Structure 1
Amino acid sequence: MSYKTLENLRVLIVDDQRPFQLLLKGILYSMGATNIAFVMTGEQALWKCMHGSYDVLFVDYNLGSGKNGRQLLEDLREKKLLHPAAVYMIVTGENQVPMVVGAIEAEPDDYIIKPFSQSVLRTRLVKIQNRKKQLAPIYQAMFDDQPELVIEACKQEREQAGRYHSLCGRIQAETHLKLKQYDEAEALLSETLSFSRTNWALLLQARLCFEQGRFEESLELCNEAIDTNRYFAEAFDLKARNLLAQGLMAEAMEVISQAIVISPFSISRQNLLMDIARDMDDVASLVQASKQIYEITRRAARQEVVHLLNYIRTVIDAASRSEDLNQRNKYQQEALLAIHRAKREDTVIRDFDFELFETLCQARLESLSGQQYLAKKTYATVSDRVAAQMAPQIDPDNPDEIPPIPHCAADAVLLLNQIGEFEQASALTQNLNKVNGAIDPILQKLFSEQQNRSLSRQASFNELNKQGIQFYKESNYEQALLCFEQALEVAPMNTGSALNFIQTAIQMMADPKRKKPLELVEKCRKTFRVVDNMPLPEHHKVRHQELLQQFNKLKEEKRYSR
């Protein structure tokens, strides 16, 4: 390798400290670099790479409030902006375990901690360049997403028994697992482990055992890997999955919590924490993991709004489950703050009807504060827009493309169930199930959990409403009215039960043999508020108009007294 390591190569320095830019520039000039570009943020670096190709990138881990070095690397890979021979080196002053492990897990070509000498940088860079050159066919096949070619190139390199024999074995084994070629993976890993108990082989063999349901064997391998390296976060992850698969929730939570302390910046790790926390009904951990996923992805390439929505949904769900008033208020405030923050930083929500989502969240929070009527009234202002989401427009240029799931319609279901409009929630859910595509897994779990928690409430409501209808058919209006009144205590905003109450009250008021106390009239008038000016299914709308006419006629005739 020539002394002029960087001669004729395009170099990009991404660092928000001008003095270090100049220092690194001097070092790189001595290594032959003459084509050097500088940017101070991850966003600027991404733009540069979208408009030109770079051979070597030196990227600081912390880049202010924007993308960090790990997120930039993920962006560049996602968008295929790093050619196979390019070198990506994270250069940073961070030496804390979470930062270091988090950066290493992203698998840059190297990670070097400031301060460093020129000779150290040159040695590390030359080493990477030699590897990239020797394994060029493998890196090219990986870049082109051609796993079979990756395996073939790895086999050819391993046959030469060169210095990259172990690395190629790891890449080949990972590719076999990706393709679910378990026999081939096991043969290769068994051979490797018979010579050396390397951590990568232990982890891949543990993964293989886990995917085949051999949990005890997988656990033993995870423990061996952790004993070798106590910062091996991926081994902790897999150990937690094994424990979870065996129903050992508390043990799984302890292990995944250790992994989070070591490296909290993995989305899959935070999702695993959410799964375990949900099974253990650990609301605080559930909220924290959801927030962390949003923070991780907020500056990433896939700035999917779903992570923000799920964070806010999870916080509101936590508020609904909290029996402590102060804790409930805390979660409600957290949801409001998250909404206001998202509106200030509109990058993620730019192509999403966030105003509609915000209104539905507002209604859910109003309901949690005991303002059931206000919650239903708030929903009435956007019900037409929710209905419109159920008929997604097909892109004429891409008629075969699956329309996106109408997120806000799902939030409307959560709201309707919360305020006791079970019939409307059920109808909307059925329509949602007809939409192509799949509802986000976290949202689906929120659906299921809400449904499970409200089963007894719905059963109580349905029984009271059913008894009321039976009493009404038997002309036992006093008992019918009592049942409908109790049903409304369970679900105060339920349209069907409100109309049943009104219909029964009108029957009692219209009977000339009965006394018609003004208290009954007032109750009837208040119950009308549940349905007046509200979005109603057609059959309820017709019934509401008929009952309103009957009630007004009775009032005009003054056929009631104290």
Structure 2
Amino acid sequence: MDLTNFKNKKVMVVDDFANVRRSIKAQLIDLGLVNVFEAYDGESATKILKEAKVDLILCDYNLGKGRDGARLLEEWRVRKMMQQSTIFVLITAETARDVVVSAMEFEPDDYLAKPFTMEVLANRLHRWFERRQVLLPLLVSLEKHDWAAVADASRQIIEEHPRYRSIAQKNYVEALFQLKQFTQAEHFLHGLLDKRFVSWAQTALHRIDLIQNKYESAETGFKEVLRKDPNLVEAYDYLAHSLQALDKEEEMQEWLEQAVQRAPKNIDRQRKLIRIAQRNLDYRRASQGLRDVLNMSTGTMHEHVGIFQEYIKNLQVEEQNTDNDQRKREITKEIASVNRRMNERYSADPNSRLFSKALTIRNSKDKLAAKTHEAVNELLAQTFEHVDEVIEDTAYFICETLYEAERESDADELVNKFKKKYQDYPDIVRRFDELQAEPVSMESRKQAKALNLKGIELYKNKNYEQAIPYFRSAMELSPRHPGIILNFVQSHMLRMKTDGIDEDEVNLCLEYMSRLKYLPEDHSQYERFVKLNANLKKIQ
């Protein structure tokens, strides 16, 4: 095969074994590609990529310690270190299904199995460079998120280059989705599916159901796709979305488990599974997932001090919710081990030090003892000193610790400080709002929510007398939640309209209302709080 047109292309071979690098390099040189660079790990490969415009990267999947080939590809793409003209090929001797599915989910340009002959390499080289030349206008438009241009480039490839029609069809549909041209996308997909079953096209069709809030139809459709093609991991994500919308969170966890088993390297999906396991109070499974994420993140762009903290926090909750003494002992050892690893890895980071101080306070048997009180004062002072450096996870853990130590006023002050710091990040502010309203366990929150909903149902039917005990029970589980407290007070006030004013009842309501003095003026319940409080004082 004539490869003279490619002789000036620059190729980088990444493999941790020198003899393998030399062998592949020799094959490339024999085929006429003379500009061949060698790298033995992620650092050396990244250095070459920064210094040279590489046209083709042949990267082994396993690179020893640190980042593997798939993680390198992920990092280079996220940090825009690779040009769109660069081809990335994963090379591996691995044949296990979970490895192959995981690797392909990172979307390398190709996957080359070891060992391979020079003839195979020559054929692939020709195919790789030809495909990149055809797809380059499409890839450049994708990088710019110019969806109209993506649609145009995709149509041109479909018409002029049948060999790459499938790639172009997928991108054409995605462009129509981004342009919100769902009817056109639906017609196009039906045209494909009328000829034969194509799993990605069927999945895309049910994505339209998802977008249009047709969750039952989407659920049925995604399950059928996965029955026919269980390795299409993206369909599990869409199915999980459907199930969550239908409040089928236990089933959602089961399907995400299947996805993670098939493609365990996807950290975002692992995190989704962790979150839903926590919502389902399955803290053991969440701990397993967090341990996997921590190990997978080591030496990659995903590694940060917050992962260590998140794992420790979940272990603590698991420990509180298990009756298994052996598991409790395992958790105690694991917390100590992870905390030690965090402090070794991030010894200069105040987040590590502050988190460890808070952890020590939480582990204190007597949280109201003088020694603990002194430790809390020290933690508070050091947190204010480093407030600009404190990340969300550390901040949240410290505030939780203060509430647990019955330092509500200090905790409120710190929460307000962090809400101001993160005021441009509504999701973070909302998280602190929820903590301030409910500084209790997730299990208590779920129980309080259920009781509150029962009370609301009775309240709507004007059964105030029956609603009040539900709100009271909810407050016992979540003493500072504004919605529950205001529901309780409003029910009492409406009952007193009928039965007459009771001074003790009014004072009781005012006592509960005093718990809400922390509410900021921009809180969704603030206006209701002010109005009810004023009415109570008038009655008083």
**What is the CA–CA distance in structure 2 between the aligned matches of 1:352 and 1:127, rounded to whole Å?**
52
Task: Look up the match of 2:81.
Answer: 81
Q: Does structure 2 conserve the Cα–Cα contact (< 8 Å) formed by 1:50 and 1:81?
A: yes
Task: Look up the match of 2:70.
Answer: 70
Q: Does structure 2 conserve the Cα–Cα contact (< 8 Å) formed by 1:243 and 1:249?
A: yes
How far does the alpha carbon of each residue in 1:526-557 deviate from its partner, in whole angstroms, 9 at most, with x for none? xxxxxxxxxxxxxxxxxxxxxxxxxxxxxxxx
Shift, 1:443, TM fit: 6.8
Task: Look up the match of 2:352.
Answer: 354
**What is the CA–CA distance in structure 2 between the aligned matches of 1:58 and 1:172, rounded to whole Å?**
29
Q: Does structure 2 conserve the Cα–Cα contact (< 8 Å) formed by 1:222 and 1:235?
A: yes
Q: Does structure 2 conserve the Cα–Cα contact (< 8 Å) formed by 1:6 and 1:31?
A: no
Task: Look up the match of 1:387.
Answer: 384
**Cα RMSD for the two superposed structures:** 3.0
Q: Does structure 1 conserve the Cα–Cα contact (< 8 Å) formed by 2:154 and 2:171?
A: yes
Partner of 1:230: helix, strand, or coil? coil
- Cα distance change on mapping 1:299 and 1:142 into 2, 3 Å: farther
Q: Does structure 2 conserve the Cα–Cα contact (< 8 Å) formed by 1:176 and 1:185?
A: yes
Matches within 5 A, 1:350-499: 353-364=351-362, 366-367=363-364, 369=365, 373=369, 374-390=371-387, 392=388, 407-435=393-421, 436-438=423-425, 447=435, 450=440, 453=444, 459=476
| Bigger Cα Rg | 1
Partner of 2:194: helix, strand, or coil? helix
Corresponding pairs, count: 448
TM superposition score normalised by structure 2: 0.75
**What is the CA–CA distance in structure 1 between the aligned matches of 2:100 and 2:415, rounded to whole Å?**
45
Q: Does structure 2 conserve the Cα–Cα contact (< 8 Å) formed by 1:387 and 1:409?
A: no
Partner of 2:33: helix, strand, or coil? coil
Shift, 1:405, TM fit: 5.2
**What is the CA–CA distance in structure 2 between the aligned matches of 1:352 and 1:56, rounded to whole Å?**
42
- Cα distance change on mapping 1:345 and 1:109 into 2, 3 Å: same
Shift, 1:420, TM fit: 3.0
How far does the alpha carbon of each residue in 1:470-514 deviate from its partner, in whole angstroms, 9 at most, with x for none? xxxxxxxxxxxxxxxxxxxxxxxxxxxxxxxxxxxxxxxxxxxxx
Shift, 1:451, TM fit: 5.3
Moved over 6 A (4+): 441-446, 454-458, 460-463
Matches within 5 A, 1:51-70: 51-70=51-70
Deviates more, 1:381-390 or 1:441-450: 441-450
- Cα distance change on mapping 1:361 and 1:208 into 2, 3 Å: farther
**What is the CA–CA distance in structure 2 between the aligned matches of 1:319 and 1:169, rounded to whole Å?**
50
- Cα distance change on mapping 1:165 and 1:352 into 2, 3 Å: farther
Task: Supply the AA of the counterpart residue of 2:382.
Answer: R
Task: Look up the match of 1:30.
Answer: 30
Matches within 5 A, 1:145-544: 145-160=145-160, 162-346=162-346, 353-364=351-362, 366-367=363-364, 369=365, 373=369, 374-390=371-387, 392=388, 407-435=393-421, 436-438=423-425, 447=435, 450=440, 453=444, 459=476
Q: Does structure 1 conserve the Cα–Cα contact (< 8 Å) formed by 2:150 and 2:175?
A: yes
Shift, 1:257, TM fit: 1.2
Task: Supply the AA of the counterpart residue of 1:377.
Answer: E
**What is the CA–CA distance in structure 1 between the aligned matches of 2:184 and 2:304, rounded to whole Å?**
36
Shift, 1:184, TM fit: 3.7
Identity, in percent, stands at: 23
Q: Does structure 2 conserve the Cα–Cα contact (< 8 Å) formed by 1:389 and 1:409?
A: no
- Cα distance change on mapping 1:382 and 1:4 into 2, 3 Å: same
How far does the alpha carbon of each residue in 1:275-300 deviate from its partner, in whole angstroms, 9 at most, with x for none? 32122210111112223233333333
Q: Does structure 2 conserve the Cα–Cα contact (< 8 Å) formed by 1:169 and 1:188?
A: no
Q: Does structure 1 conserve the Cα–Cα contact (< 8 Å) formed by 2:233 and 2:259?
A: yes
Unaligned stretches of 5+ residues in structure 2: 449-472, 481-540
Q: Does structure 1 conserve the Cα–Cα contact (< 8 Å) formed by 2:392 and 2:428?
A: no
**What is the CA–CA distance in structure 2 between the aligned matches of 1:101 and 1:446, rounded to whole Å?**
38
**What is the CA–CA distance in structure 2 between the aligned matches of 1:441 and 1:19, rounded to whole Å?**
54
- Cα distance change on mapping 1:285 and 1:5 into 2, 3 Å: farther
Q: Does structure 2 conserve the Cα–Cα contact (< 8 Å) formed by 1:5 and 1:126?
A: no
